[in-house]
Amino acid sequence: MFTYCPSCAGKNISFNEKNRFFCPDCGFLYYHNTAAASGLVIATRNGLLFLIRGSEPACGKLDLPGGFVDPGEGLIEGLRRECREELGWDCGENLALFASFPNVYPYKGINYNTCDMFFSVDAPELTEQDLTLQTGEIGGCRFIREDKLCLDDLAFSSTVRAVKAFLTRKH
Ligand SMILES: [Zn+2]
C-alpha cells in the first residue's frame, strides 16, 4: 500500500501483515484498521430484497443494501442513510441485529478488512414500485424467494454467511 513513508518519504516503512504500518526512520505509525459496515436483509412477501451491484468489486453480483459506516456515524444511522441512498426507502430504526462476519473488500488495489454487521427488517408489502434505486452504484434489484436463491450469485462471503444464518434462524 505504501512504497515510501507518507511522512518522511523514507524507504524503510514496513507492514506487519495485519494492520500496522511503521517507519523506523521518522516514527510514522499508521493502523489500517478494520472498517465497520452493515447489511440489511429486507423480508417481503415476494422474498428477500437483493441489489445488483453496478460497480466493482463484484459488479453484477447480488448484494444486500448497506455499506460502510461513515466517520461520526452510528451503525443504524449509517444503514438508514445507505438505504435512503441506494433504495430511496427509509428502513426505520427498528432493525434486528442477527449476525456479524468479517469480509475483505478489494477496492482500487487496496484490501479493506471490514467487520460486517447484519440486520433484518420485515417489510411484507414492499415492492419495486416503492423504491428509487441509486443510479450508477446499483444495477437493479431482485426480490428472491428462499427456494430460488443461489448463494453463488452473492457478492461477498460475509453476505453468504449472513443470508444462510438468516434463513436458518427463521425455521
Ligand atoms: Zn518516515
Residue with grid cell 430504526, as numbered in its chain: 93
In a 13 Å sphere around the CA of 52, the CA atoms on its Cβ side amount to 10
One domain for residues 85 and 14: no
Residues 6+ apart with CB under 8 A from 101: 116, 118, 157, 158, 161, 162
Residue 16 alpha carbon to ligand 1 centre in Å: 16
One domain for residues 14 and 49: no
Residue 115 alpha carbon to ligand 1 centre in Å: 29
One domain for residues 75 and 89: yes
Residue 28 alpha carbon to ligand 1 centre in Å: 5
One domain for residues 144 and 93: yes
- Which structural domain range is residue 1 located in? 1-33
Residue 2 alpha carbon to ligand 1 centre in Å: 11
Residues 6+ apart with CB under 8 A from 31: 19, 20, 21
Domain count, the chain: 2
One domain for residues 13 and 46: no
Element (H, E) at 30: strand 29-31
Distance CA 29, CA 119 (A): 34
CA distances from 54 to 32, 50, 57, 76 (A): 27, 12, 9, 24
One domain for residues 28 and 74: no
One domain for residues 111 and 74: yes
One domain for residues 137 and 98: yes
Residue 21 alpha carbon to ligand 1 centre in Å: 10
CATH code, 144: 3.90.79.10
- pLDDT 10s digits, 26-48: 999 999 999 999 999 999 999 99
Q: How many percent of the chain have pLDDT more than 90?
A: 91
Q: Are 62 and 52 in contact (CB under 8 A)?
A: yes
One domain for residues 25 and 48: no
One domain for residues 74 and 11: no
One domain for residues 3 and 39: no
Predicted confidence at residue 46, as pLDDT, reads 96
pLDDT means over runs of 10, the chain (171 residues): 94 92 97 96 97 94 97 96 97 95 92 96 96 93 96 96 91 56
One domain for residues 77 and 104: yes
Collapsing DSSP states into helix, strand and coil, what is residue 143? strand
C-alpha cell at 5: 513513508
Residue 46 alpha carbon to ligand 1 centre in Å: 56
pTM over 0.85: yes
